Amino acid sequence: MTTASKLLQWYKRHRRDLPWRKTRDPYRILVSEVMLQQTQVDRVKMFYAAWIPRFPNWKRLASASNEDVIRMWAGLGYNRRALMLRDAARQVVERGVPTTTEGWRAIKGIGPYTSSAISAFAQKKRVMPIDTNIRRVLGRLLLGKPFPQPRDDERIQKVVNDFLPHRGNYFDVPQAIFDLATDICQKSPKCIECPLRRECPSAKKFLSGRVRIPKQMIKKAVESRHAEKLYPDRIYRGRILKAVRESKNGMPIGRIGPIIDPYFDQIVDSEWIEKMISRLIKDQLIEIVRGKLFLKK
Ligand code: SF4
């Protein structure tokens, strides 16, 4: 039995029941993929369930305004994703639904990972999308590298062709890898429970107990933040957007500071808040009309 067949057999018994795995509709798969970027699966399930009835297809989403999509995205975070998704829908409506990975890649906002993911999950193409999870499993399994890095993607793509089956459910292999990455092949893997431990050259290394997580992987990502504030700016930008969304007749700029931060100081913090408002305007999420902040129409 090949390694991929073993993996698929394990997947059959352990696969997570996710709504976007029950469809081959490229629209729904794109929605799920964009929502899953930087958001936990359980949260995405809730938002996906609300999004699909409201925007069931490319056309309905393409005709939505910035305000419509920002309101529906409320609470999911990284709000630019909502506009990117709507803009992608507009391109699909204009040019037709792509049928190749390259075609998806040509849609502005869709990167190499997402284009391969839609091709595999919606259109059963024999391709391997590589994100952090897939890189971790395949780098360990195919390259024998306990902690593979993005620079290893090219090598993974070269060898993955021999790993992927030519027939059967080869298009399920990436989903099976996701689940293996979530349940077993985590940053500190549970090789002893892994169905691929016999085939995996990294298993011995981990089981010997001599492999340590490299320091650069422990370092936290650097986010922009005000030295005196509790949270990164991203959190305060989210609060500005929430306040604007919930204001009935627009939010006067002068009132926003104390709403998003109880320690706001008009003199010391005004430059900080202006910068965050400018960023939200640049991202097309809000606009200023006669001194008040509104969601971008
Ligand atoms: S044996 Fe260990 S390192 Fe290899 S794929 Fe399984 S969990 Fe990951």
**Which CATH number is 88's domain given?**
1.10.340.30
At 244 the three-state DSSP class reads helix
- Residue 220 is predicted with a pLDDT of 63
Question: In the prediction, which pLDDT does 14 show?
Answer: 96
Give the pLDDT score at 211.
85
Q: Taking all residues of the chain, what is their mean pLDDT, rounded to a whole number?
A: 93
For ligand 1, atom 2, the nearest C-alpha belongs to 191
Look at residue 200 and tell me if it is in a domain. Answer: yes
Domain range for 88? 25-123
pLDDT at 212: 79
Domain boundary at 91, 123, 155, which? 123
Q: Say if residue 216's pLDDT is above 80.
A: no
SS3 label, residue 212: coil
Residue 137 or 297, more confident:
137
Ligand 1 atom index nearest CA of 136: 8
- State the CB neighbour count (10 A cutoff) for residue 129: 21
**pLDDT at residue 223, rounded to an integer:** 82
Q: Are residues 147 and 206 in the same domain?
A: yes
Residues with CB under 6 A from ligand 1: 137, 140-141, 184-185, 189, 191, 194, 196-197, 200, 202-203, 206
Return the ∠ at Cα 245 (arms to 239 and 246), rounded to 5°: 90
Does residue 168 form part of some domain?
Answer: yes
Same-domain check for residues 53 and 116: yes
Same domain? For 74 and 41 the reply is yes
Entry field: residues in the chain = 297
Is 2 within a domain?
no
Do residue 239 and residue 265 come from a single domain? yes
Of 217, 243, 266, the one marking the end of a domain is: 217
Instruction: Say if 279 falls within a structural domain.
Output: yes
User: Element (H or E) spanning 251, and its range?
Assistant: strand 251-252
Q: Is the pLDDT of residue 37 over 80?
A: yes
Say whether both 156 and 204 belong to one domain: yes
Residues 172 and 193 placed together within one structural domain of the fold: yes
CA of 233 relative to ligand 1 center, distance in Å: 37
Going from the Cα of 187 to the center of ligand 1, the distance in angstroms, rounded, reads 10
Give, for ligand 1, the residue of 190, 202, 207 to mutate: max count of ligand atoms closer than 8 Å to Cβ.
202
**Which residue of the set 33, 67, 94, 193 is catalytic?**
33
What's the rounded mean pLDDT across residues 163-192? 94
Q: Which of 36-40, 45-49, 209-213: highest mean pLDDT?
A: 45-49
pLDDT-based confidence at residue 103 (cuts at 50, 70, 90): very high
The C-alpha atoms of residue 190 and residue 244 are separated, in whole angstroms, by 46
Sign of the torsion formed by the C-alpha atoms of 27, 30, 31 and 32: positive
Q: What is the mean pLDDT of residues 235-260?
A: 93
268 pLDDT higher than 90: no
User: Would you state the pLDDT for residue 152?
Assistant: 96
Q: How far is the CA of 111 from the centre of ligand 1 (A)?
A: 27
Question: What is the count of structural domains for the chain?
Answer: 3
What pLDDT is attached to residue 209? Answer: 84
**pLDDT tens-digit profile of 66-91?**
999 999 999 898 899 999 999 999 99
Please indicate, yes or no, whether residues 108 and 164 belong to a single structural domain of this protein. Answer: no
Are residues 116 and 41 part of one domain? yes
Same-domain status, 45 and 113: yes
* Residue that is last in its domain, among 55, 90, 123: 123
- Asked if 91 and 117 sit in the same domain, the reply is yes
Provide φ and ψ at 295, rounded to 5°. Answer: -65, 145
Q: What is the pLDDT of residue 222?
A: 73
Looking at the structure, tell me whether residues 31 and 117 fall in a common domain. Answer: yes
Read off the tokens for 254.
């002068």
Q: Quick one: which atom of ligand 1 is closest to the CA of 197?
A: 1
Is residue 108 scored above 80 in pLDDT? Answer: yes
Q: How far is the CA of 201 from the centre of ligand 1 (A)?
A: 8
The preferred substitution site among 145, 193, 200 for testing ligand 1, maximizing ligand atoms within 8 Å of CB, is: 200
State yes or no: pLDDT of 297 exceeds 90.
Answer: no
- Is 193 considered catalytic here? no
In a domain, 226, yes or no: no
Q: What percent of the chain has pLDDT over 70?
A: 98
Place of tokens 């509104």: 294
- pLDDT value of residue 221: 62
Q: Residue 11 falls within a domain, yes or no? A: no
Per-residue model confidence (pLDDT) at position 155: 96
Say yes or no to pLDDT of 215 above 80.
Answer: no
For ligand 1, the distance from its centroid to the CA atom of residue 176, given in whole angstroms, is 13
Residues 116 and 163 occupy one common structural domain = no
The answer to whether residue 188 is domain-embedded is: yes
In a domain, 10, yes or no: no
